[in-house]
């Protein structure tokens, strides 16, 4: 079995795969206040509840966009098992099925998305990831990563609005029936969800105009189901695309890294 971990700004998602088949998945907050020992305990507790033995794990792949957590989680994993640990970073990119041009700046999660999407489509494509940030990662026919567009994610936009505006209520991320909000909550829902629907449509159209109309589009991320009117924009939806990309990276990268 392979253990893959996607450490994001909001959540850390762990998955165990047998080959390319998902066996278990866990999601926990990405708290940098927790020390190595606590992370080790949390992961071990999830293993115990799922009846997974440490010895079942034969390889680990870690992707993190939170530098303060990378070392803590890596140390926690090494405490649990002595199996190979691959940390997704610039050192491993040359071994992947895609070509990463700007190796220092790009997030490891975006690389994992690109690896999985290109393996699936085997042609030019774009990954729309609905996470803490809303990202559009484009890949060319030859596997070269063409570029990325980044905007604040849905929850990030709402949170920012609430933090900087007095006396606004908490707002659930739901698409209202009308663009004409009759109260504050509906007004924010309309502005954010419908506004982001338009932004996603426009950016996908603009990317296709640059790459070609036959560019495939795949959506992923924890908030992928929020914007209901976008189904026709995507060729595929796969909420676990990042984890699947990490599994593929585990297959492609030599164990000597990490």
Known catalytic residues are 109
Task: Report yes or no: 222 and 130 within 8 Å, Cβ to Cβ.
Answer: yes
| Cα distances (angstroms) measured from residue 1 to each of 17, 48, 79, 82, 109 | 6, 15, 18, 14, 21
Task: Report yes or no: 111 and 90 within 8 Å, Cβ to Cβ.
Answer: no
> Is the sign of the CA dihedral 152, 165, 230, 220 positive or negative?
positive
Contacts of 248 by beta carbon, 8 Å cutoff, 6+ apart: 97, 115, 116, 119
- Tell the residue number behind the tokens 């990309």, with chain if given: 245
Task: Report yes or no: 213 and 55 within 8 Å, Cβ to Cβ.
Answer: no
Task: Report yes or no: 13 and 53 within 8 Å, Cβ to Cβ.
Answer: no
The number of beta carbons lying within 10 Å of the beta carbon of residue 117 is 28
């Amino acid at each position: 079995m392979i253990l893959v971990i996607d450490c994001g700004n909001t959540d850390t998602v762990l998955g165990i795969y047998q080959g390319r088949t998902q066996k278990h998945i866990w999601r926990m907050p990405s708290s940098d206040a927790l020390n190595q020992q606590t992370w080790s305990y949390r992961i071990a507790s999830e293993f115990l509840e799922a009846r997974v033995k440490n010895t079942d794990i034969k390889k680990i792949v870690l992707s993190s966009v939170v530098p303060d957590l990378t070392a803590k989680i890596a140390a926690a994993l090494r405490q649990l098992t002595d199996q190979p640990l691959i940390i997704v970073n610039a050192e491993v990119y040359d071994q992947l099925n895609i070509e990463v041009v700007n190796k220092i700046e790009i997030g490891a999660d975006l690389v994992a998305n690109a690896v999985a999407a290109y393996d699936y489509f085997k042609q030019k494509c774009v990954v729309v990831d609905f996470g803490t940030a809303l990202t559009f990662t484009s890949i060319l026919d030859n596997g070269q990563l063409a570029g990325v567009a980044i905007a604040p994610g849905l929850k990030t936009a709402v949170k920012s609005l609430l933090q900087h505006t007095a006396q606004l209520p908490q707002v659930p991320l739901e698409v209202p029936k009308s663009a004409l909000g009759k109260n504050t909550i509906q007004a924010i829902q309309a502005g954010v969800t419908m506004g982001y629907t338009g932004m996603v449509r426009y950016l996908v159209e603009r990317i296709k105009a640059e790459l070609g109309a036959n560019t495939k589009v795949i959506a992923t991320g924890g908030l992928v189901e929020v914007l209901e009117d976008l189904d026709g924009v995507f060729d595929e939806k796969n909420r676990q695309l990042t984890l699947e990309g990490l599994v593929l990276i585990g297959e492609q990268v030599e164990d000597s890294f990490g």
